[in-house]
Structure 1
Amino acid sequence: LENLPELFLRREEKELSRVKRDYFELCQQLFLECFARPISDWCRENHLIFTGHVLHEDSLCCQAIMQGSLMRFYEYMDYPGIDILAENNQCYWAAKQVDSVARQLDKKWVLSELYGCTGWQMDFEAYKNIGDWQALFGVNLRCPHLSWYTMKGEGKRDYPASILHQSAWYPEYHYLEDYFSRIHAALHGAKADAALLVISPIESVWARAYSGAFDGLTGTDPEIRRLEEQYASVFHMLTGNRIDFDYGEEDIMARHAYAENGTLHIGSCAYGKVLVAGVDTLRSSTLRLLTDYAAQGGALIFAGNPPSFVDALPSGEVKALASACTTIPLEENALTEACANGREIKIDTEDASLLFARSYRTEGGRMILLLNTDRKKGRANAALCLGTGKYLEQWDPRTGKITEPEYHVINGQIHLTIDLEAGGERLYRIPARKRRLPKQEAFRGTRTFPLPDIFRYTLSEPNICVLDMAAVTGKTGLSLPPMEVLKADRALRDHLRLPYRGGEMLQPWYQVKYKGGSTRLCDTITVTYRFHIDALPTGISLALEDLEHICRILINGREIPRKSSGKWIDICFDKIPLPDEVLCPGANTITLVMDYYSTCGIEAVYLLGEFGVMLANNRPTLTTLPETITIGDITPQGLPFYSGAITYHIEGLQNTLCSVTAPDFGGALLKLSGKEEVPLAFPPHKALIRDLNAIRLILTRRNTFGPLHHPEKRQYSYSPASFITEPPCWTDSYVLYEQGLLKKPEILY
C-alpha cells in the first residue's frame, strides 16, 4: 500500500522507480502466463501453428503501454509476426526486433501483416517499397492486408485497398508476389552476418513511467523521449553504415544467454561484440552476464553514459564495469568504428546512409541484399565493395534471371559501380566457384521514336460517373437537403437513434444474428441523386448496392424494373439497365425507395457506359466520350472517376526492338504490349520489348471509391474514419488523383 502512489506519481528524489519497473514486469508476466503461453500450448497440443502479431510495435512507448516487451511474446509463437501499417511507416526496428528473436530461438519463419491502412491509391511501386525493407530485415512470410469477401457498405472503406478482384490490377498482382518470392527463395536457409548484439532499453522506459508520461502511445516525458530518440538513432547509425546486429531482450537473455571463450551466445546466435547504448537501467542478471563476457575478453562497448541503475535501483556497478571496457561517445563515427566487424558492405555515394544492405552466409557462398530506402532519388555511379570473393552473380528478383555483372577483384575484394534507382534493390551472390552465366548486355539503340501528342485509346471497362450527393426523406419524418451520402447516412442514423457505421461498428453478421439487423425495419426512405446530361448517351447502366432492400427505382419520375443484368466490381453491386427513353438533356434524377435496416447504409451510386464526364461547378455532367486522349492527366478529359485499364495504341514500331522508359504515370502499373507483354511496375520503369504496339496503363480504384472530398489528397493512413467527410476534412470539390501517362514515355530503337 505504501508503494501504490508511486504507480501514478514520481517521487521527487527518485529518477527511476523500481515499483514501476516491477509493475510492468508483473503485467508482462501475467500477459504471457494467461494469454501467450496457453495459446502456444493449445496450438502445440492440437498440431496447429501459432502466428499473428501483438499490438503496436512502432516504438518503445507503444510496446511498453500495450504489452510490456514485444520480444518476450515472440518466444511463444511458432511464426512470430508484426503488423506494419500505412505506406510511409519507417519503424524499421519493428522488423529487426522480431527477426532477432527468430534468429536467436531458431524460428524459421517471420510473418508480417503489411499494407493495412494504405488506401485505394496504392500502386505496385508503393507496395514494393513497403515490402522491401521488411524482406531485408528478416520477414519471409507475407500476410497482405487485405482481401474482401465483399465491399458492401462500410466494407469498401475498411482499410483499403482490397488485394482481390475488386482492384483492376489484381490479375497482375502475381508480379509483385513473384518478386518477393524470389527474394525469399534466394535467402531461404541463409544466416545473416550479424556479429553485434544491442541491448534493448525497454525496461528503462518501464522504470521512467508515471501518470502523464504518455499521451496515448507517445511519450511526453523528456527522459522517455530521449530514450526513444536514442533507440532510433542507434538503429540508424548502425544500419546506415550497414553494420548488422540483433537486439538482446534482457529476460530472454536471462534464460537463453551465456558467455563462452569471449563470445556471447543467445540460443543459436553468437556475438563477437555487445553494445550498451541509450540504456538507463540493466537487470542484475544482465550485469552478471556482461561481466563474465568482458572477463573472458569479449568486446563490450558502452556508448554515451553507462547505466547508473541496476534493477531500477541506483548503482555504480555498471559504470565500474564500463571503466574496464570500451567507452565511446554516442556519436556516429565512434559507434561505427567500435561496432564494425570489417565485413560490412561499403558504399561510396551521396547520402550513402540511406542505402541499407545485409550479408548472408549460405551453402557455397554469400548472398547480399542491397536496398535504396530513398523513394524519391536514385544514386548514379554508386561504388560498392562487397567484401571478400572472386566471383559475382546478380540475381534479378524482378525477372528471375541470373547474370554476371561487370565487376573487379582488388586485393581479394569485389568492387563494382552501379546506378541504383529510387527505391531500387540489388541481390548478389558471391559463390565459391564460378559458373557460366550470360553477361549483362546494354541496349545499343540510339534512335528516338517520336510519340504523338494524341492517342487512340481503349478502355477495359465502361466509364464511370460517381453520384455521391443525395437528398433523403423518410416515413418517420426525416427530410434532408442534398448532401454527401455518408453525411446523409449519419443524419439518418441520428434521427433513428442508430449507432454510426465505421471502424468501431458491430459487424453486420453479428447484427443480423443477434440484433435483428435484417428483420427489424427502421424506416422506409427515399434517396434522390441528381446529374446533368449535355449529350444523350445510350446503353447506360446504374450500379447500386442493397438491391434486395430497394423497393422502387425511378428515373426522372418514371419507374424502371429492378432487374439486375449482372454484377460490377464486387458481388454487392448490381447493374440495372436504364432505358434510353427515360433520360433527357439537362437535369436528371435517380430516386431510390428503400427499406432501411440497421445493416443498411446510404451509399453512392454509379452510372456506367460509353460517355464522358465533366465536373462543372462540382456537378457531374455526362458528355460524349472523347475519341482520342492526350498525354497528361485523363481526369479532365472525360474520365475523372474511371478506374479500370486504359490502352494507348502506338503505330510504327513493327519489327523493331525498343527500350521504353515511362518517367511519370498515374496508376498502379504499366504493361507494354508487343511480341510479348512486359510489366513496368517499379522504377526506373524501363524495359526492352520487340514490336511495341500499345502501352496499357492499369489504374487504381482511388478516383471511384475515394475519399473524394477530403482536402488532403494524400493522407498518412486510411481507415473508415478517412471517409467521414466532415469539416475541416471536407471540400465541395472532387479531390482526384492524376491518372494516365503524365509524361511521354521515352522510346529508343
Structure 2
Amino acid sequence: MYGCSGQNLTFEGRKWIADWHFVHGINLLNPHLALYSMRGERKRDYPPTISFQQPWWRFNSLIAGYEARLSYALTRGKRISQVLVIHPIESAWALYEPGDDRRARQLSDWFDQVSRWLLEEHYDYDYADESLLAKYGRLEHDRLFVGEAEYELVVIPPCFTLRRSTVDFLQKWMAAQGAVISMKPVARRVDAETDAWDFVKDTIIVENDRTAFTSVLGELLEPNVRVLSPEGYPVAPIWVHQRADGEKDLFFFANTDRTRGYACELILPGDGAVEEWDPRTGDVHEVAVEVLDDEVVVSRFIEPGGSLLLVMDRSKDAREIDEDDEELVEEGDEIDLDGSWLSEPRDPNAITLDTVRWKLGDGEFQGPDPLWKVLDPVRRHSGTFSLQFSVSVEVVPEPDVFLVLETPEAFSVSANGTALPATDCGFWVDTSFRKRSLNGLLRTGETTIVLSGTAEPKIELESLYIIGDFGVRTEDNRTFAITSRKSVVLAPNLVEEGFPFFAGTISLTQSFEINLSASGRAKLVFDDPQFVVADVWVNGNNAGQVVWSPYEVEIGRFLVDGTNTIRVDLVNSLRNLLGPHHHAFGELLGVGPDSFSDAENWTDVYQFVPFGFGGVRVILEG
C-alpha cells in the first residue's frame, strides 16, 4: 500500500487511503516501502520512502498508531455484511478476447458501479467467488451462509454466465423466500453453454440504473446503519463498516470525500451505551445519543477525509442527550496572524544539481544534458569519463557548506579546479548520501564541480546536492542561484521564499496580543495547509501536531493575557529534493522510475510542490 504515490504523500493522504481499506474490511496493512538505502535508482523505486530518510519520520507514530489501533479494533469479532454480490470474473473470462478487452472492461465498470451504489446507500457487502460459494455456501433454517458469514440478499451484477452450482444454490435460496436481484444485462448462459433464462426470470430483474436499483433495494432490505443528512437523505460519500463482538457492535465510518465535511445523523441498530474510540490518541469517551425504538442516533460532523469509530455496548444503558450536551461552543473573537513570519530552518537548505556537461575519455565536453541521459553512454564506455556540474553563487554561504554525493569512492572530485578533501563528514538524509566539505571552495559567479571516474557497466550516476545555511533564488524555475537566506518569510509557499529544494523542518515564529475570554478556550486554525506536519508551540509549550483535517489544535491552556508567541515547526517531505522535477504534468498521481526520465513529457522547468500554509487564525471560543 502507498507505492507509486510519490514522496509527497502526506499523513492526510495515508490516512485517507488506509480508511478506504479499513471500511472495506481490509485490516492488515503492508506499507510500501522502507528502504535500507536510497542509493542509486532505489530512490526512484515507486516512492514514497517510509523510513528514517523522510523529514517527518519522527512523527510517523501519529499515522502508524492510528492505523495500528484501527487494525486492532476492526479485527475484533465478525464483520456484518447484509448483501452478497456474485463476482462476475468468470463472465469476464468468457468475454475477454486477446487484443479486444472492451466487453470485459465494460463488465468491470458495471461491477465497480454496483459496488459503489451499495456503499453509498450504506449496504455493506461481500463478493462471492463462485467456486468458493459452491464449496462453502449453505442454507440453514432458510438463512443463507457462506462459511461463517450470513447474508440477507443476493445481488447478481451485470454478467454473461453463471456456474450451474451457483444457479442451483440460488434457486434453493429463492424457494426459501430469499431475494435475488439480477441487474441488466442479465446472465445469458449457465456454464457459458446453456440458456440461463429459466433461472433469471424468477429473480428480481432491475435496470442498470442507480434509481431503479436503489429503489428495489430499499423495498427489499433496510440498511443496518443509516447515515443521513439533516434533511434526511443518505450521505453518499460516508461509508460504513460494522462488526459484532459479543455484546458490542463496532461501527467505523469513513468520509471518502477529501474536500468536504458532512453533518450527519448516524442511526445505529440496537440499544446500548455508545463510546467513541479515537484511533489517533487511543482515548475512549462515552457519547450522548438520542434513543429511538431499537435504534440510537449520534449526531456528528465528519471532516473532509475524516473518520469515526463508535462502539455500542448492549449490556449498558445509553446516555441520552440532555441540555448540557446540547450546549454549543460559540466561536468568539478571531485573530488573523500576519503573513510575515520569522524563519529558522532546523535542517540545512539544499540545491539539487541534476544537469551536467560530460565527456568520455579525452573527448570534448558535451551537453548540458539531464544526468539520466548520460548514464547509458557512460556505462557503454570502457574508459574514463568526467561530469561537470555548475551552480551560480550570488552570496558565498558561511561555513559549514557541504557537497553531498553518492559512492564518493568511485570518483575524484574537484570544485573550481581544487580537489575536495577526502575526509568523510558523515551522511545526510540517507546513509549513502555522503558529505564532503566545500568550505572555502565556493566563489561568487559560477562554481564548477567535476566528478571524474572510470566507467563500468553497473556504475550509478546520481544528482549532487549542495547543503548549508543559504537561500536559493530563481526567476523562472529553470536556473537557480545560491544567495543569502531570508530571516522573514511569507508562509503561503516557502518554495518561493528561497527553499525550492528544501527537505526538513522550518520554524516560523510570530507574536501577537490577546485578551483572553472567561472560558480560556482557543484554537489555532490553518488555512490551505501545504505541509506534512505542523508542530505547534505556544509560549514555549508544545500544543500538538496538526496532520489532517481538521487542521487545527487547541491552544487555550497555553495562552496568557497580553503578548503570546506562536512557533510552528513546518515539516515537508523528500519530494522537492528528489523529484520528479521535470515531468510536464507536475505532481503526478502515480510515480515510478519512468517518471524521472520521461522524455516525451520532459520539461526543463523544475516542478515543485508548495510548502507552507495560506493563513493562520487564533479563534477564541465562548
Q: How do 1:678-697 residues align onto structure 2 when only pairs under 5 Å count?
A: 678-689=544-555, 690-691=557-558, 693-697=566-570
Residue deviations 1:542-579, cap 9 Å, x none?
111111101x2211112221221111111111111113
Alignment correspondent of 1:103: none
Contact 2:587/2:609, CA 8 A, preserved across alignment:
no
CA distance, structure 1, for counterparts of residue 331 and residue 222 of structure 2: 45
Alignment correspondent of 1:394: 276
Alignment correspondent of 1:615: 474
CA distance, structure 1, for counterparts of residue 64 and residue 526 of structure 2: 22
TM-score, normalised to structure 2, is: 0.90
Q: How do 1:55-94 residues align onto structure 2 when only pairs under 5 Å count?
A: none
Contact 1:119/1:718, CA 8 A, preserved across alignment:
yes
Letter in 2 for 1:542: L
Alignment correspondent of 1:668: 532
From 61, 67, 79, give the equivalent of 1:192. Answer: 79
| Change over 3 Å in CA distance of 1:725–1:307 after alignment to 2 | closer
Report whether the alignment pairs 1:241 with 2:121: yes
Shift of 1:592: 1.3
Alignment correspondent of 2:409: 548
Shift of 1:240: 0.9
Alignment correspondent of 1:129: 16
Moved over 6 A (4+): 435-442, 653-656
Contact 2:341/2:510, CA 8 A, preserved across alignment:
yes
Shift of 1:195: 2.5
Alignment correspondent of 1:431: 313
Letter in 2 for 1:340: L
| Change over 3 Å in CA distance of 1:266–1:479 after alignment to 2 | same
Alignment correspondent of 1:568: 428
Shift of 1:177: 1.1
- 3-state DSSP class of the match of 1:116? coil
Aligned residues: 597
Letter in 1 for 2:181: I
- 3-state DSSP class of the match of 2:199? helix
Contact 1:404/1:439, CA 8 A, preserved across alignment:
no
Residue deviations 1:174-213, cap 9 Å, x none?
1001111222222332222212211111111111122322
From 37, 58, 61, give the equivalent of 1:171. Answer: 58
- 3-state DSSP class of the match of 1:404? strand
The worse-fitting range, judged by mean Cα deviation, of 728-737 and 340-349 is 340-349
- 3-state DSSP class of the match of 1:141? coil
Report whether the alignment pairs 1:593 with 2:452: yes
Letter in 1 for 2:158: G
Shift of 1:154: 0.4
CA distance, structure 2, for counterparts of residue 660 and residue 351 of structure 1: 32
Residue deviations 1:92-131, cap 9 Å, x none?
xxxxxxxxxxxxxxxxxxxxxx000110111110111111
Letter in 1 for 2:569: R
Contact 2:353/2:463, CA 8 A, preserved across alignment:
yes
Shift of 1:615: 1.8
Alignment correspondent of 2:237: 354
Shift of 1:529: 0.7
CA distance, structure 2, for counterparts of residue 272 and residue 563 of structure 1: 72
CA distance, structure 1, for counterparts of residue 617 and residue 11 of structure 2: 18
Contact 1:658/1:748, CA 8 A, preserved across alignment:
yes
Contact 1:448/1:746, CA 8 A, preserved across alignment:
yes
Report whether the alignment pairs 1:535 with 2:413: no
Report whether the alignment pairs 1:467 with 2:353: yes
Letter in 2 for 1:589: T
Gaps of 5+ in 1: 1-113, 214-218, 497-521
Name the one with the larger helix percent.
Answer: 1
Shift of 1:157: 0.6
Contact 1:237/1:335, CA 8 A, preserved across alignment:
no
Shift of 1:477: 4.5
CA distance, structure 1, for counterparts of residue 331 and residue 92 of structure 2: 60
- 3-state DSSP class of the match of 1:197? strand
Contact 1:708/1:735, CA 8 A, preserved across alignment:
yes
- 3-state DSSP class of the match of 1:748? strand
| Change over 3 Å in CA distance of 1:351–1:287 after alignment to 2 | closer
Letter in 1 for 2:227: K
Shift of 1:275: 1.8
| Change over 3 Å in CA distance of 1:563–1:597 after alignment to 2 | farther
From 607, 613, 617, give the equivalent of 1:741. Answer: 613
Report whether the alignment pairs 1:298 with 2:178: yes
Residue deviations 1:201-241, cap 9 Å, x none?
1111111122322xxxxx32xx3233122211210111110
| Change over 3 Å in CA distance of 1:129–1:440 after alignment to 2 | farther
Report whether the alignment pairs 1:724 with 2:610: no
| Change over 3 Å in CA distance of 1:258–1:663 after alignment to 2 | same
Alignment correspondent of 1:644: 504
| Change over 3 Å in CA distance of 1:144–1:342 after alignment to 2 | closer
| Change over 3 Å in CA distance of 1:335–1:470 after alignment to 2 | farther
CA distance, structure 2, for counterparts of residue 305 and residue 339 of structure 1: 21
Shift of 1:409: 1.6
Report whether the alignment pairs 1:266 with 2:146: yes
CA distance, structure 2, for counterparts of residue 329 and residue 484 of structure 1: 55
Contact 1:260/1:296, CA 8 A, preserved across alignment:
no
Shift of 1:435: 8.1
CA distance, structure 1, for counterparts of residue 327 and residue 548 of structure 2: 20
| Change over 3 Å in CA distance of 1:320–1:128 after alignment to 2 | same
Shift of 1:746: 4.2
Report whether the alignment pairs 1:320 with 2:198: yes
Alignment correspondent of 1:519: none
Alignment correspondent of 2:215: 334
Gaps of 5+ in 2: 559-564
Shift of 1:711: 1.4
- 3-state DSSP class of the match of 1:377? coil
From 488, 494, 514, give the equivalent of 1:634. Answer: 494
CA RMSD, 1 decimal: 2.4
Shift of 1:405: 3.4
Contact 1:238/1:335, CA 8 A, preserved across alignment:
no
- 3-state DSSP class of the match of 1:146? coil
Alignment correspondent of 1:415: 297
Shift of 1:270: 2.2
Shift of 1:436: 8.6
Alignment correspondent of 2:45: 158
CA distance, structure 2, for counterparts of residue 453 and residue 227 of structure 1: 52
| Change over 3 Å in CA distance of 1:300–1:619 after alignment to 2 | closer
Alignment correspondent of 2:343: 457
Letter in 2 for 1:547: P
CA distance, structure 2, for counterparts of residue 370 and residue 417 of structure 1: 13
CA distance, structure 2, for counterparts of residue 627 and residue 342 of structure 1: 58
Report whether the alignment pairs 1:225 with 2:108: no
CA distance, structure 2, for counterparts of residue 255 and residue 115 of structure 1: 34
- 3-state DSSP class of the match of 1:144? coil
Shift of 1:704: 0.4
Alignment correspondent of 2:259: 376
Residue deviations 1:680-707, cap 9 Å, x none?
1111112212326311111111110001
- 3-state DSSP class of the match of 2:503? coil
Q: How do 1:508-519 residues align onto structure 2 when only pairs under 5 Å count?
A: none
- 3-state DSSP class of the match of 2:474? strand
CA distance, structure 2, for counterparts of residue 306 and residue 626 of structure 1: 67
Shift of 1:744: 2.9
CA distance, structure 2, for counterparts of residue 473 and residue 150 of structure 1: 29
Shift of 1:341: 4.2
| Change over 3 Å in CA distance of 1:364–1:281 after alignment to 2 | same
| Change over 3 Å in CA distance of 1:351–1:288 after alignment to 2 | closer
Alignment correspondent of 2:31: 144
Residue deviations 1:360-407, cap 9 Å, x none?
21222211111111111222x323322332432222222222223343
CA distance, structure 1, for counterparts of residue 318 and residue 295 of structure 2: 19
| Change over 3 Å in CA distance of 1:347–1:637 after alignment to 2 | same
| Change over 3 Å in CA distance of 1:258–1:652 after alignment to 2 | same
Residue deviations 1:127-157, cap 9 Å, x none?
1111111011112211110011111110111
- 3-state DSSP class of the match of 1:176? helix
CA distance, structure 2, for counterparts of residue 435 and residue 347 of structure 1: 21
Contact 2:255/2:303, CA 8 A, preserved across alignment:
yes
Contact 1:486/1:725, CA 8 A, preserved across alignment:
no
